[in-house]
Every structure is written in C-alpha cells, then in structure tokens.
Amino acid sequence: MTDMRVLSVRSVPARATLVALVTLAGGCASTPADKDPVQLKLNDLDSRVARLEQIMANQAEMSQRLDELQASVRELRGRIDELEHSEQTLSKQQRDFYGDLDKRLAAFSAAGGGAGGGATGSASAASGMAGAGTSGGGAGGGAAAVGAAALGAAATVGASADNAAAGGAGSNAPSSVEQAVYSQAFDALKAGSYSVAITGFKDFLQSYPGSPLAENAQYWLGEAYYVNHDYDSAAGAFRTVLKKWPESRKAPDALLKLGYTQYEQKQYQAARVTLSEVTRRYPGTDSARLAAARLRRIPPQAPQ
C-alpha cells in the first residue's frame, strides 16, 4: 500500500516533466524560424539593382531615339534649304528667261520677222531653260515644265524665222507640201506632243532630205528627243546637224545642245570639250553665254 502511494507521488513530477517537454516540442515545431536579416538585405539590394538597371536601359533607349529624331530633323532642314535654294534659282531663271524672250520677240517684231538670228537666240535661251529643268534636283519637275513651255515659245518664234529664211532662198524655197508636213511636226512640238513631233520630223527628213527646211527639221528633232529625255538620240540628231550643215545658223545651237546632252549623260569630260568649243567658235553669242554658264555647273571633281 505504501509502495503504491510512493510510486504515484514519484510519477506526478515525471509526468509533468514529460508533458512540458511534449508541449515545448510542439511549440517549436509550429513556430517558424526567424528569417535571416542578411538574406533580407541582399534580396532588397537585388530588387533595387534590378530597378536601376531597368531605368538605365529605358534612358539609353530614349537617348538613342532622341539622337535619331535629331538626325531626322537635320536631314529635313537640309532638304528644305535645298528646295528653297532651287526655288530661288528657278524663279531667277524664269525672270531672266521671260525678260530676255520679251526683248527678243519685240526685236523680232520690229525687224519684220525676216531675220533668222532672233529665232536662233530664242532657241538658245529655250535650250538653256530646258537643260536647267532636267537637272534641277528637288525642283526638277517644275523646272522641266518651264523648260518645255520655253521650248514651245521659242519654237513659235523659230517657225516664222525658219519659214522666212527658207522662203528667201528664191527657187530653193520649200514646196507647199514640204511646208505642210514640216508645220505639222512643228505644231506637235509646240504643243508638247514630243513623240508625235519626233515621228513627224523623221518622216519629213526621210521624204525631203534636200529641202531647205531639212536642217531646221534635224535640229528640232534633236530638241524633241532632248526634252523627251532620249539623250542618245538627241546627241545623234545634233551631231547630224553639225556634220551636214556645219556653217548653218543652227550649228551654234546644235553644238550647244550637244554639250547639254553630254552633261545630262554625266559625260562631263566630253561636255567640257564641246561647251568650250562653243565659246571659242561663237564668242559673244547667246550660245557662248549659255555654254559658259553650263561649264560652271560641271562638278569640280569631274575628270579633266
């Protein structure tokens, strides 16, 4: 009896201790361990570094885009300056040309329309405008239209002079049929129907090679080719004028336009030789003045 009581007393503390240990173990198992403060700081630093890298990447991209925009603005400003310069040059050429053409028309009217020199000068002036129109850069389309209009105006004056010169040859005057065929081609040229004019002048030259109007037809055939940008054919037509009629009143203009044609073909060395020949052979003429002006436009780096 006494032994049983002692065992019960002794077992009470042991049981309490066991319960306490079990409770402590359960508490440790259910409470998470505290996070490492060093690891927390490292994680925070990683996040900040990642945000900074993203900000720097965005700034670099914005800087690149800004540089591209600035480059585009500079390019646009350069093009605007070129267009403004071309417009100013074209306006001056228009004023100079129409002023010169008015003077020549007035002089031609005062002379009674008998001399061919006025028409030759007007054709030279028209050649200058047509040539400027085909190589004027950003304003090329407008200048080409002015050049074509100028060619038509000069052709109108040239028609009267050509007819007067041919009629003054007495027995060598063109027949009415020759005159009609030539006039049809000439009217097409003045109207800007260059393909029709080319066909007409070629038919005339094939049918009437000995006509007093043949040299005129050959020259205006070259002009029609030139304005139509068929430079190879234009060069051939102008060379034919110089070969068959080297002393004719069309020779200065034909030599000038041959130089223009070579310039348009970027045959700068040949153009320099041809245009220099114009200034040498026909000093003081409109053809020489226009040749000198075109010589100044040949690029300095072109072969000598």
Report residue 286's pLDDT band, with 50, 70 and 90 as the boundaries: very high
What pLDDT sits at residue 69?
79
Confidence grade of residue 171 (pLDDT, cut at 50, 70, 90): very low
pLDDT at 208 over 80: yes
Pick the residue with more confidence: 164 or 93?
A: 93
| Buried b or exposed e, range 188-215, using 16+ CB within 10 angstroms | bbbeeebebbbebbbebbeebeebbbbb
Tokens coding 27: 């508490």
Give 235: exposed, middle or buried? Use CB within 10 Å, 0-12, 13-18, 19+. buried
Token pair for 274:
């041809």
pLDDT tens per residue, range 25-62: 555 555 555 678 888 888 888 888 888 888 988 887 78
What's the confidence (pLDDT) of residue 64? 77
DSSP string, 105-142: HHHHHHTTT--SHHHHHHHHHHHHHHHHHTT-GGGHHH
pLDDT of residue 299: 86
Output the pLDDT for position 13: 57
CB-CB contact of 90 with 150 (8 Å):
no
Backbone angles phi, psi at 115, to 5 degrees: -95, 150
Q: Tell me how far the alpha carbon of residue 288 is from its chain's centroid.
A: 28
Q: What percent of the chain has pLDDT over 90?
A: 39
Q: Which of 124-138, 170-184, 185-199 bottoms out in mean pLDDT, i.e. has the lowest?
A: 124-138
Of 243, 241, 238, 280, give the one whose Cα is nearest residue 259. 238
Q: What is the mean pLDDT of the chain?
A: 74
Most confident option among 101-110, 149-158, 172-181, 184-193: 184-193
CA angle 179, 182, 183 (to 5 degrees): 80
Q: What fold does the segment set 97-297 form as a domain?
A: 1.25.40
pLDDT of res. 202:
96
Contact of 298 with 263, CB cutoff 8 Å: yes
